[in-house]
Structure 1
């Protein structure tokens, strides 16, 4: 599938030749999630990065289910480690940017689940 078209939110520079947006906006300046989410998507323009996010989120959900099923809370920690490892490999290996979670952890966490749902619904391409 084609990558997400470069439609950055106001104040975000267009994508660079690597496919990642130029760091023209500080995500901390985006105070509403509705403003942050387009920025979040612009930080995930490489389909390999999005796929790794999807894999990490899926593994996180499986680990959460395992924690509940076997009543072993360490599965939750494993899910977080696997989820973030997949995401960071996508950012550092393919997207060549720093995850927004370093500056906006809550919005980034919410953005990941929104993108995950949007990928299931076909609104964001794999």
Structure 2
């Protein structure tokens, strides 16, 4: 983990990206985030609110497999939980933006 203590998200995000160099790790993050979005939509549709209990299992499960098995590093979530949560969604949004705008 980094020795630096990040005081703002702008300085943290490049570090976060450096912890996601492995393509499989990044793809597992994207899959987990995408499944969370689908689960949220599905839960809003069927109003089975207990399903929301699966959010941390899905979100962290895919990401942590990516880190421990493929990236071989410790997830930044352990030291920077809020910044990591935000960074994961920024990374996901950037991936979607790249997919959408590269197709048109």
Pair in the same fold by TM > 0.5:
yes
Matched, 1:26 2:3: yes
SS in 1 for 2:21: coil
Q: TM-score, normalised by structure 2?
A: 0.89
Query: Structure 1: which 5+ residue stretches go unaligned?
Result: 1-22
Structure 1 match to 2:72: 96
- Measured on the aligned residues, the alpha-carbon RMSD in Å equals 1.4
More helix by share: 2
Aligned to 1:6: none
Deviations 1:8-63 (A, max 9, x none): xxxxxxxxxxxxxxx4x236x01100000000000000010000000000011111
TM-score by length of 1: 0.74
Residues 40-95 of structure 1 deviation map (CA, whole Å, 9 limit, x = unaligned): 00000001000000000001111111221111122222122111100000000100
Partner of 1:84: 60
Higher RCO (C-alpha 8 Å, min separation 6): 2
State the 4+ residue runs in structure 1 displaced beyond 4 angstroms: none
Number of residue-to-residue matches in the alignment = 99
Matched, 1:65 2:65: no
Q: Does 1:111 align with 2:82?
A: no
Structure 2 gap segments, 5+ residues each: 100-104
